[in-house]
Structure 1
């Protein structure tokens, strides 16, 4: 059999190597895999602010207007579609009672599904603002929460 007719094993056609290289090595994010689905493990100073998707566009616009835009994704949850904005924990996570009712801060080992380019219809996440290899920093948690609570 010639090499150009060789069938590659399923593992070498998976997105795992690309996900590990892109998310893991390029951005330094901790990943966990469940089958073909990569999950971002929120640790090492990374957290996510989640809010209903209907409120997400306003918050992302405020962040962009202040130069604090960063990676954000739409995720399907038991509470419905939500926006998850990745942020750097810059101190203590505020207590739940101090946050607006519709906002939640996820951290400490929580796992978020990461978007894949597999084209699967059942994908549980999509980038609204994809991570940029030229700008690998995340906005601070304080900046994201300030955008959630406009003055």
Structure 2
């Protein structure tokens, strides 16, 4: 019987092994844990573009149409529900003044909560477009920002 199908005592269940294996080893992402909640540490060339969730579907559609789709999640923030699109930093980050007022670029050690498969009602993140082990690259920051600012 594989470990996935074993019934473990409640105190033995943990998302940590799956998170480390899936996010850490498979994708090479730096993780930080707070209890059972994994956080992606935005470093090593990874950043996130965040925008209000109401604008997310349109931007994700434009990214998919151009072949630049990648991992994106809905996250609960103090600003309300937002979409966080993971991207590869491809040079200097744009200044805050050069971005639309509703858009932020997060990087340099920022912690972004990662979705967990725990079924907890208080989950702070959910995948809108989950990372794909067969396509481990991220879209460039320039491509994501171009999708945020339609022509």
Q: Same fold (TM over 0.5)?
A: yes
**Once the 2 structures are TM-superposed, how far is the Cα of residue 13 of structure 1 from its aligned partner?**
1.8
Q: SS at the partner of 2:145?
A: helix
Q: Deviation at 1:7? A: 8.1
Change (3 A) 1:3 1:16: closer
Deviations along 1:14-42, one digit per CA (max 9) or x if unpaired, are: 01000000000000000000000000000
Q: Structure 1 regions of 5+ residues with no counterpart?
A: none
Unaligned runs of 5+ in 2: none
Higher CA-based Rg: 1
Structure 1 range deviating more: 11-20 or 63-72? 11-20
CA RMSD of aligned residues (A): 3.0
Question: How many residues in Structure 1 have an aligned counterpart in Structure 2?
Answer: 151
2:20 maps to 20
1:11 to 1:17, Cα distance in 2 relative to 1, 3 A: farther
Aligned twin of 2:141: 141
Deviation larger for 30-39 or 9-18: 9-18
Question: Is 119-128 or 11-20 further displaced after alignment?
Answer: 11-20
TM-score of the superposition, structure 1-length normalised?
Answer: 0.94
What TM-score comes out, normalization by structure 2 length?
0.94
Equivalent residue, structure 2, for 1:91: 91
